[in-house]
Structure 1
């Protein structure tokens, strides 16, 4: 079975993961921190943005795949997957703070709502 929503979500997640990793490397280089966070707030912020992505994304991808098996071609599922990825980018940018700091809150809210919505949808689907 072809799972285009899952494949698209996984591809987007991989690209976001690469982007967050590069951002960590950039700030490590500019702040001259080779290992760990060096107690540097900029490095800590970028590392946490990347870590938060890797903490939340696997569960969402699993739920997207499971729901796509149950509901192939779901436009709603594709929309949730896209919104989740948008939220993760907003969170990553927002973690830098400053004028874009609101992105952290927006990204967090989108992430939590996407997970909750997918979980409820999965439970309802399982119960038939």
Structure 2
């Protein structure tokens, strides 16, 4: 049974909802579809889209690791790092005009998580091959 991954999936879903609200507020910018050339709206859309591009894959890999009985402490570390990364990045793109710290470190942590979770999943998969 998964216990750790659903916690972070739920917390990230709440943050995704906040990012989604920022995108649907486009009518205040006189735009009904797309960004209408508005740079602030474009940042909001990319903050939302960027989340949707990275978070599902990392959560899926976390679930695989959890099902593979990886350390609960490791899984919480991955989940907290993912939450921090996506909040930093989302704040930078969707809520500010150019908070470079949040965008840089949010991206850096997300890429690091892709490498770590990807590598651990490969390790788990190769370990399973040796057992057979």
TM-score (norm 1): 0.90
Residue ranges of structure 2 left out of the alignment (5+ in a row):
128-132
- After superposition, residues 1-128 of structure 1 pair within 5 angstroms as 1=1, 3-26=2-25, 28-71=26-69, 74-95=72-93, 96-98=96-98, 100-128=99-127
For residues 54 and 79 of structure 1, what CA distance do their matches in structure 2 show? 21
For residues 97 and 83 of structure 1, what CA distance do their matches in structure 2 show? 24
TM-score (norm 2): 0.87
Aligned residues: 125
Deviations 1:21-80 (A, max 9, x none): 112233x14322221110100000000000000011111111011000002552111111
For residues 112 and 83 of structure 2, what CA distance do their matches in structure 1 show? 13
Residue ranges of structure 1 left out of the alignment (5+ in a row):
none
Runs of 4+ in 1 over 4 A off after TM superposition: none
Check the 8 A contact 2:5/2:75 in 1, yes or no: no
Q: State which drifts further: 81-90 or 65-74.
A: 65-74
Check the 8 A contact 1:93/1:101 in 2, yes or no: no
For residues 25 and 90 of structure 1, what CA distance do their matches in structure 2 show? 20
CA RMSD of aligned residues (A): 1.4
